[in-house]
Amino acid sequence: MKVLIIIDAQNDFMPGGSLAVPQGNKIIPVINQILPQFELVIATQDWHPENHISLAKNHLGKNEFESIQVEGIKQTLWPAHCIQNTSGADFHKDLQTEKIEAIFRKGTHPMIDSYSGFYDNAHLKSTGLAGYLREKQATELYFCGLAADICVSFTVKDALKEGFVSYLIEDATKALNEEDFAQAKRDIQALGGKIVNSAKV
C-alpha cells in the first residue's frame, strides 16, 4: 500500500505564523494535487502544552533560537508554536483534510521535544505510527510537509530505520534552513531513501 504522510502542515509554520517557514503555504496546492494518488493518507501535528521545554518563553534569560542541553540532547528554543487547541496548531485552511484517515500528535510531553512523527527526540516514546503502518500493510511511504530540514527529515530518517521504503517529495516541502536541508537530503539518501518530485509520485 502506497501511503502519503503529511508532516505538520499547520498555521504556525506558514507565513504569518509564529515559526514561519519561508513560502510554507506554497506546498498546500502540491499536496492537494497528489492526494488522489494514495490509498492511505495520514498526518502529523505538533501539539505542545503551554509549558513545553522547547519554547523559549519557558526559559528565563534565554532567547528564541538559542540552544540548551536537555538530558544530554541539544534542544533549540523555539518561538511559542502549535500550542494545543490554538488556531496556530490547526492545519492550513486550504489543506484538503477529507482523505486524512489518522492524525498522530507529537511534542505532547512537556519535558521532551519530538521532531519525528515516529518518536520523541530521545527515542524514549513511540507515537505508534510504525505499528499503525505495519497493521495497514504499508509498502511505500511518501513524505511532505514542514519543515523540510527538521520534522520532515527526522520523520523520513526514522521511517528508513524502521525498514519502510521511503520517498521525500521535494516540491511538497519547504525548509527553515536550506543548508540543513541539503545535509538532511544527503543523510536520507545514505540511509536508502529517495528524493522525488510530485510529478513522479
3-state secondary structure of 180: helix
- Annotated catalytic residue 106: yes
Catalytic residue among 12, 46, 82, 106: 106
158 annotated active-site: no
CB atoms within 10 A of CB 177: 15
Q: Which residues on adjacent β-strands are paired with residue 55?
A: 78
Q: How far apart are CA 135 and CA 172, in angstroms?
A: 26
Cβ 118 vs Cβ 129: under 8 Å: yes
Active-site residue flag, 46: no
Given the residues 46, 151, 174, 185, the one annotated as active site: 151
Query: Could you tell me if 41 and 201 are in contact, meaning their C-beta atoms sit under 8 angstroms apart?
Result: no
Contact partners, residue 92, CB within 8 Å, separation at least 6: 9, 10, 11, 14, 25, 28
Around Cβ 15, how many Cβ atoms within 10 Å?
A: 12
197 to each of 34, 64, 144, 176, how far by Cα in Å?
Answer: 11, 33, 11, 19
> Which residues are annotated as catalytic?
8, 106, 151
